Structure 1
Amino acid sequence: MSQQRFSNKVVIVTGAAQGIGRGVALRVAREGGKVVMADFSEYVEDVLKEVIDAGGEAITVRTDLEQFEGAEKVVHAALEKYGRVDVLLNIVGGAIWMKPFQEFKPEEVEKEIRRSLFPTLWCCHAVLPSMIAQQSGAIVNVSSVATRGINRIPYSAAKGGVNGLTASLAFEHAHDGIRVNAVATGGTEAPPRKVPRNSAPMSEQDKTWMQEVVDQTVDRTFLKRYGTIDEQVNVITFLASDEASYITGSVVPVGGGDLG
């Protein structure tokens, strides 16, 4: 890829250890960005090695982004190393359980919200002062077309919160030169997770509920298939780049026709 859309830009990528986050981090590094890769998992160090071996530049920050202090740690590391943050890409999130809403325990509902809303909320909050000071910045949040979906209501609520955050933050800080958009991802094919969101073995009932989600996801797409990681990365990095300089406050569905 000859494009260098992130040349000399400092880009925070959360959830960089695997899946879409890893794909985004590798793409940004390949396009000249200085990548600050944040993740709770040690596997983010493997991605750092991939970046360095390919001639890119990156650092890692191991932290818990469900806590505001974790988000502050990432932004502080970026500012300490590079002096600025040009782009924030919030990838962390993902449903932990797939089951009808009435089957969720109260503590499970809270865990879903903490995982799929708070990392984005906290990272946006932590990065704003530096972006306001420099009067520029781009933020891309990862949402989901599952805001209209079955068997994951708490996750749907969290991603609805991401959509609301995206629109309102874009409105509030356009005068500061900050663009804020979201990508509502559809079902995405990915390798097995190195760190599972839910390590408990699945019962036969769990498998049935999961299959209902898969069937609904495919049925709602015009293309009748899951997307690829690259198909999500393409849109996330476009919105983060200067090519999207007149796009803000938008939630772009990347779900094969499923608009969420």
Structure 2
Amino acid sequence: MIFQSRFAGKVMVVTGAAQGIGAGVATRAAAEGAKLVLVDRADFVTEIEQAIVEAGGEAVSVQCDLETYEGATAAMAAAIEAFGRIDVLVNNVGGAIRMRPFDRFEAAQIDAEIRRSLMPTLYSCHAVLPTMLAQGAGTIVNVSSNATRGIRRVPYSAAKGGVNGLTQALAMEYAEAGIRVVATAPGGTQAPPRRVPRNAAGDNAEEQAWMAEAVEQVTTSAFLKRYGTLDEQIAPILFLASDEASYITASILPVAGGDIG
């Protein structure tokens, strides 16, 4: 369902906008009147920009690596250059790289999980604050996960626990400055095959078995006994980003079929 003009006059930055939830959030927000800044390190983020523009919306795309602070500051600078302000930031970058028992993770793999699923959100929140403070207003929506309780992905769970803590502490610290900070905590979500694999090295037979165990746990832990759809994840993100949620801050909304994580 499209809410006409819900984001009219708003500038929204969406990270991880090239595919999946991020692409869906950006496309629907544009249809609801937002001006979009699409951030991703994948070059095909330009395809989402083109689709939005062809549909009559306004969008620019920015290629950068949000696992670095320089990438986060470059993304926010590009948004200011294009549209002069940032009203909403949706931090969507993240995702487990590997599934395995914690004792089987190597130190470098642990570091990679934290770098992927915590640092882009932490860096982007920090990078956007000067703009939102100058405006005296802004909304940050972080995409966390209900996998703060789950098997075969402990480092990812720790990273998303960090996103939850960041959300609540930032909301408390900057509420008086007119900045809301909220999050959704998606559960398992059906999505098209990733164009950039989560694990570029591929999964061997043992890793595939561990992945299957994680998938079974996610499905059985959900009260509704199924994965969610992309639309079922996109709608709560946009609600929290909108003025309809103006009295909601510091909240982390589970969107996981009953499994609150």
Fold shared per TM-score above 0.5: yes
1:94 matched residue in structure 2: 95
The alignment status of 1:26 with 2:34, answered yes or no, reads: no
Letter in structure 2 aligned against 1:229: L
| Identical aligned residues as a percent | 60
Letter in structure 2 aligned against 1:173: Y
2:13 matched residue in structure 1: 12
The alignment status of 1:244 with 2:254, answered yes or no, reads: no
Letter in structure 2 aligned against 1:19: G
1:121 matched residue in structure 2: 122
2:70 matched residue in structure 1: 69
> Matched residue of 2:144: which SS?
strand
Hey, what's the Cα distance between the residues in 1 that align with 2:202 and 2:158? 25
2:57 matched residue in structure 1: 56
Q: Deviations over 1:53-99 (max 9, x none)?
A: 11110000000000011000011011111111000000000000000
Map 1:192-231 → 2, pairs under 5 A: 192-231=193-232
> Matched residue of 1:138: which SS?
strand
Hey, what's the Cα distance between the residues in 2 that align with 1:60 and 1:201? 29
Letter in structure 1 aligned against 2:158: A
Hey, what's the Cα distance between the residues in 2 that align with 1:209 and 1:219? 15
The alignment status of 1:141 with 2:149, answered yes or no, reads: no
1:45 matched residue in structure 2: 46
> Matched residue of 2:96: which SS?
coil
Count of residues in correspondence between the two structures: 260
Hey, what's the Cα distance between the residues in 2 that align with 1:140 and 1:81? 21
Q: Deviations over 1:172-205 (max 9, x none)?
A: 0000000000100000000000011112232211
Letter in structure 1 aligned against 2:21: I
Hey, what's the Cα distance between the residues in 1 that align with 2:178 and 2:167? 15
Hey, what's the Cα distance between the residues in 2 that align with 1:182 and 1:2? 21
Hey, what's the Cα distance between the residues in 2 that align with 1:225 and 1:188? 9
Q: 1:207 Cα shift?
A: 1.2
Q: 1:2 Cα shift?
A: 4.2
1:112 matched residue in structure 2: 113
Q: 1:39 Cα shift?
A: 0.1
Letter in structure 1 aligned against 2:253: V
Question: Normalising to structure 2: TM-score of the pair?
Answer: 0.99
Hey, what's the Cα distance between the residues in 2 that align with 1:12 and 1:147? 26
Question: Normalising to structure 1: TM-score of the pair?
Answer: 0.99
Letter in structure 2 aligned against 1:87: V
Hey, what's the Cα distance between the residues in 1 that align with 2:238 and 2:182? 11
Hey, what's the Cα distance between the residues in 2 that align with 1:89 and 1:223? 27
Hey, what's the Cα distance between the residues in 2 that align with 1:143 and 1:134? 26
Mean alpha-carbon deviation: is it higher for 231-240 or for 76-85? 76-85
Q: Which runs of 4+ in 1 moved over 3 A?
A: none
- What do you get for the CA RMSD once the two structures are aligned? 0.7
The alignment status of 1:78 with 2:54, answered yes or no, reads: no
2:133 matched residue in structure 1: 132
Letter in structure 2 aligned against 1:103: R
What residue ranges of structure 2 are gaps of 5+ in the alignment?
none
Letter in structure 1 aligned against 2:23: R
1:180 matched residue in structure 2: 181
What residue ranges of structure 1 are gaps of 5+ in the alignment?
none
Q: 1:258 Cα shift?
A: 0.4
Hey, what's the Cα distance between the residues in 1 that align with 2:205 and 2:56? 46
Hey, what's the Cα distance between the residues in 2 that align with 1:2 and 1:167? 28
